[in-house]
Structure 1
């Protein structure tokens, strides 16, 4: 599984199809985390955390800046999505910090799921449809490659407050290294 959660099956897709596939994978992972236990739950949770982190970073670096200048009311649409992303990152960070064994994990996971899926629906309805209409098909395919590249170097944990393209580009790579070290330590010390 790639960090983007798509197993390389996205080659040749345009950016909208790639992001839609990731939204579907995110929804599937929420169901898996909620309905499983033990190692399966932990693995699905780690995949979900990583996918959410890299997905949002790539959108913030690639998709939202393009949307600002190419869709109707671009600034308003993007600002609303960034506010939603920050809220979801804060919920996700708290869940990561407290751990999957926290007594209220399932309740807070449900809140996070609702926030993330509502955000994804708004992106699909207000941003992605307009991007597809405003951009040539070849550019959308090229943007999918750019999203994959951004995800490859993105942080793998949530970092609320880093929702702008500039902040992601400046802070993302060093934070990604720190996240990789933390993940390696977690994996090495895991039961």
Structure 2
């Protein structure tokens, strides 16, 4: 699986989690929101650690800068979501805001960034990056979930 296929697969998983959130209530909804926050955090870490620097080196600096800004918004909303109680009416607002921002971000990546990376980079290089990203998932999950549990937002390394 190459890097773009991995990220696209995670986009599909995020979509499925949003559907679960909307279709569930109570404890099941809280569990789905927790899984959503976990996947959002892991996915962002993979993109920021591996894919965005790679895309930037491929000459897509403006697209990467925009993606960093979108990530900052989603990370802030995710942090706020995790701090509200299940009965707080703002829970639906945060969930909707995250979904709206993520869907826009995903659409832009899949429409603009991913095709341009595919045009500029050899398939074997994307395969190697995908393997590297898969190998890093467990390590990143542990690091990012600890940060998420502490409601700490990572610094944005984008210049």
> Which of the five TM-score ranges fits, normalised by the shorter chain?
0.7 to 0.9
Q: 1:43 maps to which residue? A: 31
**How many pairs align?**
152
Q: 1:8 maps to which residue? A: none
**1:33 paired to 2:21:** yes
Q: What's the offset of the Cα at 1:42?
A: 2.1
**1:162 paired to 2:150:** no
Q: What's the offset of the Cα at 1:118?
A: 0.4
Structure 1 runs (4+) deviating above 6 angstroms are none
Alignment of 1:10-89 (within 5 A): 13-71=1-59, 74-89=60-75
Higher helix share: 2
Which consecutive residues of structure 2, in runs of 5 or more, have no partner in the other structure? none
Q: What's the offset of the Cα at 1:151?
A: 2.5
- Structure 2 distance, partners of 1:99, 1:137, is 45
Q: Give the CA RMSD over aligned residues.
A: 1.9
| TM superposition score normalised by structure 1 | 0.73
Q: What's the offset of the Cα at 1:100?
A: 3.4
Paired residue secondary structure (1:153):
helix
- 1:119-160 CA deviation, whole Å, 9 max, x = no partner? 111111221111112111121111112222332222022743
